[in-house]
Amino acid sequence: MTTPLTHAEREQLERRLYERRDALDARRQVLFAGATRAEHAREVLLQDGDDAPQRDADREIDLATTDHEVVERAAIEGALQRLAEGSYGICDDCGTGIPLARLQLEPQTLRCVGCETERERGRPRAASL
């Protein structure tokens, strides 16, 4: 099955994927200054200051953000690979074309809305306050 996207739409989405990947890489470079994630976490932990609880919260937020960005970057790389293979824009679960509007909102998506909804129904929800 081929993707229902036009050549121009594929190019636009590919540009957006590369731009987001480059932005994530630039943010990581500035944030980590060449250090590994573990070295960066250690540096944040060892910072001097009188507000240890706030530093702990800041570190947790920082690590959660970088974790999310690592996952997002991997998803972008996967989308770029699917573009190269010709399978981009096809739902991984049902094999139908993913609508352009969904791809424009989340160009690295793997699934159509119906399949993603079904997948999320099976996941336990995180606790909220």
User: Which has the minimum average pLDDT: 15-19, 39-43, 71-75?
Assistant: 39-43
The whole-number average pLDDT for the span 73-84 is 97
Please say if the pLDDT value at position 42 is more than 60.
yes
Domains of the chain: 7-121 (1.20.120.910)
- Number of C-beta neighbours around residue 61 at 10 A: 10
Two tokens at 26?
């630039």
pLDDT greater at residue 65 or residue 103: 103
Q: Is 40 a residue whose pLDDT tops 90?
A: no
Please say whether the beta carbons of 59 and 45 come within 8 A. Answer: yes
Task: Say what the pLDDT of residue 37 is.
Answer: 63
- Please tell me the distance from the alpha carbon of residue 123 to that of residue 113, in angstroms, as a whole number: 16
